[in-house]
Amino acid sequence: MAQAIAAYLHYLSIFVLFSLLTLEHVLFRQPLDLDRARRLVRVDIFYGISAGVVLATGLARVFWYGKGLDYYLNNSLFHAKVGLFVLIGLLSSLPTFVFLNWRNTLKAGQVPEISARMAKLVIMTIRLELLLALVLPLLAALMARGVGSF
């Protein structure tokens, strides 16, 4: 029963993470207004929290509720999946940095300014994160079927 609950929480947190990233993509458009900028900051904070939950539930599955630590450590797709998750996390630092820099401007009730170049970079980064996140379930499905074991 605990194994099923751990798997469910892991899947649910992945859906939440992907939904929040999609919401960031939808909300981030020019010209920016005060309400959308505030929502972007909140969504990005919850996105970071959901990534932490994905990581925590994933680790719980690896150590206690999955196929065992040896299975995962001896699977190249597991290493690829973890590496891809880390890469997505690193990519997400750019939008997070931009959004968190808006805090003082937002507290003053002003709309944050962002250059067209930086706005394009942020939106392309979010799109790349979404694209890479679509690969994670494929790696997981292949890994669960023994592909990548060495």
pLDDT recorded at residue 91: 98
pLDDT recorded at residue 66: 82
Enumerate the domain spans of the chain.
2-144
- Write out 24-40 in H/E/C secondary structure: HHHHCCCCCCHHHHHHH
- Please count the other Cβ atoms lying within 10 Å of the Cβ belonging to residue 45: 14
For residues 33 and 112, give the distance between their C-alpha atoms in angstroms, rounded to a whole number: 8
| 24 and 51 Cβ atoms separated by less than 8 Å | no
Q: Residues 48-75, buried b or exposed e (16+ Cβ, 10 A)?
A: bebbebbbebbebbbeebbeeeeebeeb
pLDDT recorded at residue 140: 92
pLDDT, mean of each 10-residue run, the chain (150 residues):
92 97 96 95 97 96 89 95 97 96 94 95 98 95 90
pLDDT recorded at residue 79: 96
